[in-house]
Amino acid sequence: QVQLVESGGGLVQSGGSLRLSCTASRSISRFDRMGWYRQAPGKQRELVAAVTSGGSTSYADSVKGRFTISRDIANNIVSLQMSSLNAEDTAVYYCNSRIVVNVEGATREYWGQGTQVTVSP
């Protein structure tokens, strides 16, 4: 079992910045991919940013150029630096980790409890 604990959410004004952190209970170097998802009220959960075990990153079009995902492997932390925030970024943000569990490529995913990010106009 893996525990993921998020921190760093809160209330920020439009145009401001926040940094989210996700601390894992085991070495993140073992995960195939780690990412941040978000879910706004009435909307589906969406992938915001991800980083693979090889260090490749990917972003949703809506956050490209504004959000940056990074890893601190020594401390088992994945962070999401968010800047130029706007009201559309308001959501609960979830940390996610994915690990390959067999040679066929089956995966298992783990989720954090979520942290609220609210951007005021």
Q: Among residues of the chain, what percentage have pLDDT more than 90?
A: 86
Q: State the pLDDT at residue 28.
A: 87
pLDDT at 116 over 90: yes
Per-residue model confidence as pLDDT tens digits over 48-99: 999 999 999 999 999 999 999 999 999 999 999 999 999 999 999 999 999 8
- CA end-to-end distance (rounded Å), the chain: 40
Within 13 Å and on the Cβ side, how many CA atoms surround 77?
A: 12
Please, which pLDDT band fits residue 1 given cuts at 50, 70 and 90?
Answer: confident
Q: Which tokens belong to 93?
A: 């943000």
Q: State the pLDDT at residue 102.
A: 87
Q: State the pLDDT at residue 4.
A: 96
